[in-house]
Every structure is written in C-alpha cells, then in structure tokens.
Structure 1
Amino acid sequence: MEDWRQFEEEVRHVYQALASQKGEGMLVAQNARIKGHSGTFHQVDVYYEFDRDGVRYRVAIECADTKLPVDKGRIGDFAFRLNDIGNILGVVVSRGGYQLGADTLAGQYGIELLQPQDLPLMGTLLAKQMSIVSLPDETSLGQPFWTVMALHDGKTTGGYYATEQPGTTRRHIPLLYSKSHAERIMREGRLDPHQWGVRGLPGSALRAFVQTLDVLEKQGGGAVILFLPPAARGDADFIAIPITTEQLADQYVVTTSSR
C-alpha cells in the first residue's frame, strides 16, 4: 500500500474508533466523493458523519502525508471545497506540519489543523468544532436561554463570554432567560459590541453548547443561570444558579427521541 494510503487508513481507523463510541447513524468513509452546491464532486480523504442529540454532523478530513509543511494554498483550496459542499466541518492532518500563515488562514475558515500526535485528542477537538455547526445569529431566539457570544466581522465565532468566580480562577458562562438581562451583562461588563453580542440559543445551538460545556467543565469551568424575579428592580442582583452539563441536557435539551 502506498504511504499516503496508509496514512489515510490510520486516520480513518481513529475516526472509526470514535464512531463506535459516540452518537448514532455513523458513517466513516475513505476517499469519498461529495457533491457540492455547484454540482462539482469533491474528493475528501476521510469523511465522517454522525448524529448527536438530533443534529447531523459532517466532517471532511484532509490527510497531508508529506515531509513538507502544508502551505496556505492547500488550506485555501480545502476551504473552497468545504464552502461548496456546505454545512461541513474541516480538519487537516499533516505529518510535516504547517507553513507560517497557514494557521491564520485556517482559523478564518474554522478549519482545525492537526498533526498525527493530536489524533488521540480528537474527542475534545471535535467537541470544540461541533459548537460551530449551529451558531446562532442576531435573529435567533432563546429556547429558553440567552447568552453573550464572541463576534468577528459581525458574525458569531462560537466563543462564549465567561466571568471569573470571586476568589477563584474558574470561569463560568452565564445563561439568562431574558434578552434584556443578557444585554445588562454586556453593559455591566463594558463589553465592546464589535467583539461581543447577545445571542439566543435555539434548540440546535443549545445541543451544541452542551458539548462545549462538557469540555469547559473538564478545564474547571462551567455554566451558571442568572435569574431575576419578574418584580425585581432593574438594578437588583442576579440570582446565580450553577448548572452542570448533565442537568442542562436532562432538563432543557430536546432530543429526537423525546419529541
């Protein structure tokens, strides 16, 4: 078997292992051909597809088995294919590393850059990527939560505003039942509206948020519901209720099986 085929096979095996443990409706294919919006068929080295909490995720993996670092041109070509396919996450795995500037370009397109030694961490990395799939925009409604998210050029990036708990270095993402209360968090935190914005979390975004929260909890952080009774003064202190990933999923996330 050619070396590059062997490399693709190694990556496929890693994803196949993930497929046996996570989600439903798994599909892992090597050297797949996927039709884009333009009608063109695009070759994908390894294709990974699965259901998680009622959301369908698709991942395209580019395998660069070369001693030379991957350059920006290859990243740009991959980004073009991903854009034409649409609604798909992009991952590049390179044996030879990456040229200067490739990471910046990949970040602009939400492409994850990995090396073979990173593959055992794919569960955590994929959770981070999954949070990008169903990003809310300014028209999204909280079902039931609102929060503050990072922006770039007016678009949500997938990052969440978090506050440090007094006397600790632990950071918690605030969740609120009211858009106006989330706007108050923006004002009190003196957040730049060009870098941060209030967003509602509809069902699909909330399911993706649960995956992000699971990663944050492993790092010592978490989420907290900030609540004000209806009759409370506008400047009243929020009632803070910490909530775990399990509690959020059990009490607020609607899955296909529970509909």
Structure 2
Amino acid sequence: MFSPIQDICWELTPEDFERYSLDVLSEQTKNLENLVIEHDKIVTATDGNYQIDGYIEFSLMGVTYKTLVECKHYKSPINREKVQILHSKIQSIGAHKGILIATSNFQSGAIKYATEHGIALIQLTEAMSEYQARSMIGIIVASERKPFNFGKPYSGVLIGSNEQGSFTCSYLGKNNTALEKFIKD
C-alpha cells in the first residue's frame, strides 16, 4: 500500500480536507454533463436525513445520476465497516455510486467489499514524494513513477482489485479517465 500522507496533511482541518478531496474529484469529472458537486450536503431519504461530505450529480442521456462521497481524514487504515456504512447510505438514498477518499490506506477487506459493491476508493498521497513499496501477495506495488498533480500538494490514487483478486492502483490525473468511467458505468 502507499504510505499514508505525512504530518503536513494534518494541518488541514477536516473541512479543508473534504474541500480538497472534492477539488480532486471536480478535476476528474469535469467532462460530465450538467455536473453539480456539493460539499456537506444533507440528503433526505425515507428512513431519515443523511449528512454527506460530498455529493455529485450529473446527467447522461437524460438520466440524472447521484454519487455520494465520504472523506476520511484518518491516520489508521480504513476498514471494511467504513465502506459498509457508505454502501448503506447509497442504498437508503437511492444513489448510483459511492466514493470514499482517505488519507490512509485501505485494509484488504475494505478493498474487496468496495469492489464487489461498486464503491471507488481513493487514497490521497503527497504529490512528487518518494515512497517505498513492498512486494507481497495482496499488497499494492507502486510503479517507479512519483504521483504528480500539476503543482497541487496531493494526488489521488484510485484503489481497486481485478478479476484475479490482485489489488490495482491508478493515479488520477488530467489524462486518466478511470474515475469518470467508474462513475458512468
């Protein structure tokens, strides 16, 4: 896994982290029609009100799609339970997709659950930083490239798993449409 963001990230308030995360998503989804991104939205469902860190809505071929975004400004790895809570919100609200963005890495159970339930996991990592990767079964091995985000301090890495059960990662950037494809599918 990628090393969690260093101490400089903790200078960000939780609200600043949420806004930065939504800025990263805004860059990734700017080609979507009638795109609306809201921060700290209260969504009413039949079973109550839900506070959502970020809410994305867009139109595709006349259909409006909703994506819920949860941001975790944590030092410890994200466990499966956090992903399950987001999945429950998606079901209650009737959203189509979910995205969980974190400063820390994700436990393997969280990655597996998210992959099976159509939830994108994004780990923010410091742009242009050196990091070490361990090559072990079930551990993401980073390429030799350094995360780059056009002068911004942090870069996003889309975490997932493939059909063989191996973990995958994809740096988010201006030329990478992996997140946009995920939201549309």
What's the TM-score once normalised by structure 1's chain length? 0.46
Structure-2 residue corresponding to 1:33: 42
Q: Work out the percentage of aligned pairs sharing the same amino acid.
A: 22
Deviation at 1:2, TM superposition (A): 5.3
Structure-2 residue corresponding to 1:57: 65
Q: Which runs of 4+ in 1 moved over 6 A?
A: none
Is the CA contact 2:99–2:122 (under 8 Å) kept in the aligned structure 1?
Answer: yes
Deviation at 1:66, TM superposition (A): 0.8
Is the CA contact 2:54–2:70 (under 8 Å) kept in the aligned structure 1?
Answer: yes
Q: Matches of residues 100-249 of structure 1 in structure 2 within 5 Å?
A: 100-116=108-124, 117-118=156-157, 119-120=172-173, 123-131=177-185
Is the CA contact 1:37–1:86 (under 8 Å) kept in the aligned structure 2?
Answer: no
Change (3 A) 1:113 1:23: closer
CA distance in 1, matches of 2:102, 2:39: 16
Structure-2 residue corresponding to 1:227: none
Deviation at 1:36, TM superposition (A): 1.8
Out of 55, 74, 89, the residue aligned to residue 81 of structure 1 is 89
Is the CA contact 1:44–1:62 (under 8 Å) kept in the aligned structure 2?
Answer: yes
Letter in 1 for 2:15: R
Deviation at 1:50, TM superposition (A): 1.0
Is the CA contact 1:70–1:102 (under 8 Å) kept in the aligned structure 2?
Answer: yes
Structure-2 residue corresponding to 1:243: none
Structure possessing the higher radius of gyration over alpha carbons: 1
Which has a greater percent of helix? 1
Letter in 2 for 1:12: L
Is the CA contact 1:15–1:48 (under 8 Å) kept in the aligned structure 2?
Answer: no
Is the CA contact 1:47–1:60 (under 8 Å) kept in the aligned structure 2?
Answer: yes
Out of 32, 35, 41, the residue aligned to residue 23 of structure 1 is 32
Change (3 A) 1:32 1:14: same
CA distance in 2, matches of 1:41, 1:88: 18
Letter in 1 for 2:13: D
The count of corresponding residues between Structure 1 and Structure 2 is 129
Letter in 2 for 1:72: R
CA distance in 1, matches of 2:74, 2:35: 29
Q: Tell me, which stretches of 5 or more residues in structure 2 are unaligned?
A: 1-10, 125-155, 158-171
Of structures 1 and 2, the one with the larger relative CO (CA 8 A, separation 6+) is: 2
Deviation at 1:107, TM superposition (A): 2.0
Out of 37, 42, 66, the residue aligned to residue 50 of structure 2 is 42
Q: Give the aligned CA root-mean-square deviation in angstroms.
A: 2.1
Is the CA contact 2:28–2:179 (under 8 Å) kept in the aligned structure 1?
Answer: no
Letter in 2 for 1:68: S
Deviation at 1:17, TM superposition (A): 3.4
- What secondary structure does 1:83 align onto? helix
